[in-house]
A = this chain, B = another copy of it.
Amino acid sequence: MAIQQNIRLSVDAVVFGYTARESISVLLIKRTIEPFLHSWALPGGFVRDHESLEEAVTRELQTESGVHINYLEQLYTFGLPSRDPRGRVVSVAHFALVNPTNFKLAASSDAEDAGWFNIKELPDLAFDHAGIIAEAVKRLRGKIRYQPIGFELLDKKFPIADLEKLYETLLDRPIDRRNFQKKMNHLGILIAHNETQKQLSQGRPAKLFSFNEKRYFQLMKDGIAFEV
């Protein structure tokens, strides 16, 4: 009953990182093989016979860039027959969040180079990867409406302004500091610490906060009604 198929399966990952200075960035790697040799592309590769999709993504991310993944979920499967010039390759795209300050990017064997690109200044990309990133950005922007966000992207302790800037970037509009703070307090996901940020600029030093993980993950499951 074997059905002859000529379809190969790959995985790709859209890895988002965030820093208050650099805003939201995507991890890209420079290809070392044809097609699209020397083009920027999403990290990813072919799935092996005995590994799950998630194992495949994790392996590829490890070997291509050395990131520490904080969050990983499936995004969408891209299967147009024409998306890869080598023939039929269906790719299961994934969505990942990392904190870029937690590790050094390491372009290794499979990648000529690896780097962060602001989502508003992406280079030309291999295959349909620009479309995949567009979907991932949609997902990220969408998440904000029904899940808390930030834990996987920010440092363990952070000034509340960092979180606010993250929301402002994703929503692409200004937010009232006071109301934002009130709402976060109301959600109960922030824990205040008696520490202030080491000074990196002028102005009053900011108190540091961390997430109440229990409450955070509870709300992540239950969903929130949160319009900033």
Contact = CB atoms under 8 A, between A and B. Distances in A.
A146 B226 CA distance: 11
A80 B52 contact: yes
A175 interface: no
The binding surface of chain A is classed by DSSP as loop
B1 A8 contact: no
A15 interface: no
A7 interface: yes
How many copies, total?
2
A163 interface: no
A170 to B, nearest CB: 14
26 contacts: A1-B33, A1-B34, A3-B8, A5-B46, A5-B47, A5-B48, A5-B49, A6-B49, A7-B8, A7-B9, A9-B90, A47-B79, A49-B81, A49-B88, A52-B79, A52-B81, A53-B77, A53-B79, A74-B77, A79-B92, A90-B92, A142-B146, A142-B223, A145-B225, A225-B225, A225-B227
Interface of A: 1, 3, 5-9, 33-34, 46-53, 74, 76-77, 79-81, 86, 88, 90, 92, 142, 145-146, 223, 225, 227
